[in-house]
Homo-oligomer: A and B are copies of this chain.
Amino acid sequence: MNGAESLVRTLIKNGVDICFANPGTSEMHFVAALDRVEGMRCVLGLFEGVVTGAADGYFRMKGAPACTLLHLGPGLANGLANLHNAKKASSGIVNIVGQHALHHIECNAPLTSDIEGLARPMSAWVRTSPDSRSVARDGAAAIAAAQSSPPQIATLILPADAAWSDADDVADVTETLQRPDYSSQAIESTAKILRGSGETLLLLAGSALTERGLALAAGIAGKTGCKVMGETFNARMARGRGRFFVDRIPYPVEQALSVLKPFRNIILVEANDPVAFFAYPDKPSFLKPEGCDVHRMTANGENSIAALEALASAVGARLRDAKPQQPMETGWPEGPLNHTSIAQAIAMAIPENAIVIDEAITTGRKFFPSTAFAAPHDWLQNMGGSIGFSTPVAIGAAVACPERKVICMVGDGSAMYTLQSLWTQAREGLNVLTIVFSNRMYQILRGEFDGVGAGEPGKKAMDMLSLDRPALDWVTLGRGMGVQGRAVTTADEFNKALAEAMAEQGPRLIDVQM
């Protein structure tokens, strides 16, 4: 057994049995080990942003880390943007990054770079394995780091000589996963606030947004009159009929300020102090109103479900205290495609237990309320703001949950960053429907241009915001990578394309031309 094989066996033994990969020469011993060791599924991506985004999606749906296989510094670099998004979503990932044989580094061969330096900004744990007999132990430590509470990005750098030289054994993850509980004192003081006067917001994130967390929060709200919301973006939220609907803090700063204005207290359940996504001249960065106190009930990684149970008990709330939500009118839309009709069609089409990946940016701002009473589903958003997030995350979600339909909603600008995802979806026959919203524009920047005080874009500025010259043909792009699709220009066509796609297995694409 060589070092690479000891690593593959260690990963599998400790439950890391999916590898999203884009390997090169220095990773060939790891690839070779896949033939000798049973139990590792390896999924090829043709660009590393696909690989790391897929690992993020896998973690969000499985709650367990996958590994990636990346080629030296530049391969890692190509995956960093989606590692950034994964880090901000608290996804656990074990990156395996190849390195030259250690004696070869002094040669400064073309692919030599500072891999640890590249890894650090997006990784909580970084280690270069010093030799083949350390690889298994280092692999186990990387898994332990990825499985921390909160979960982390762990990057293990594997020199080629450590991969090809002799190793003894596999290793076990010895650190027991200790999920920190919660602070009883925080529950007591939260209960006191909820029993007091003054408008209070329970701001939920992370595990508080599971079906159970939402139900508990709904009971607490029903009993105490507090309001419950989610952050602007959420890693995963349980939604749909029968589940408690929580709205999110709006993205535009003015709207966020207005929504938060009534509150005297904000209770953070894994959430962060509400902040603006970007800074704007003469607008605040912190969004809480003057005189409002912010209190932390649980931190990221703490047991928010147990904490919410304790809080419910402290305030005497029961699940049946939840006030029923007012269902919205539904029905398939008619007429032209616009943000409202698109939202309505998607709400109608979401099948039971779907996974919805939301990178619809401006087009998607109306999707959230409309889909609140769709069939029960999970809703995944981009926590790091680096676009090109959704199509790879859809791969990981589909690999984690092959029996569920994945609906990836993405703006055309965002979809271009990682369009190679479609090929992996075709190769693996993944049950992913990609809906591209083609407004032929970085539409969000059109708004932000004004928002930052830059006025009205002139011809040269508009050129940097528009994607209309030439128009991207998404059905053709999909076909070039093996994914069949359909372009739609009316609500009726969209309805039919959605119904057709939901009835089929395997990857499909709808190009919504706006």
Name A residues whose Cβ lies closer than 8 Å to a Cβ of B.
21, 23-26, 28-29, 31-32, 34-35, 42, 44, 46-47, 49, 73-75, 77-78, 80-81, 84-85, 88, 100-101, 103-104, 107-111, 113-114, 117-118, 120-122, 160-161, 164, 233, 272-273, 275-279, 281, 285-286, 382-386, 388, 413, 416-417, 419-420, 423, 426-427, 444-445, 448-449, 451-455, 457-461, 463-465, 467, 469-474, 476-477, 479-482
Contact = CB atoms under 8 A, between A and B. Distances in A.
Among A84, A108, A160, A388, find the residue whose CB has the most chain B CB atoms closer than 10 A. A84
A104 B29 contact: no
Nearest to A45: B416
Contacts of A477: 476-477, 480-481
A29 B80 contact: no
- Copies of this chain present in the complex amount to 2
B427 A416 contact: no
A275 B104 CA distance: 9
A278 B104 contact: yes
A438 to B, nearest CB: 12
A88 B73 CA distance: 13
A375 B276 CA distance: 58
Contact of A416 (B46, B109, B470, B482): B46
A457 B23 contact: no
B464 A21 contact: yes
Contacts of A164: 281, 452-454
A277 B118 CA distance: 21
Contacts of A74: 80-81, 84-85, 384-386
Contacts of A103: 279, 285
A152 to B, nearest CB: 15
Nearest to A4: B454
B25 A109 contact: no
B100 A78 contact: no
Given A46-B417, A449-B28, A460-B35, A104 B480 contact: no
A396 B409 CA distance: 33
A286 B32 CA distance: 26
B278 A26 contact: yes
Contacts of A275: 104, 107-109
B384 A464 contact: no
7 contacts: A23-B464, A24-B448, A42-B463, A77-B77, A103-B285, A161-B279, A164-B452
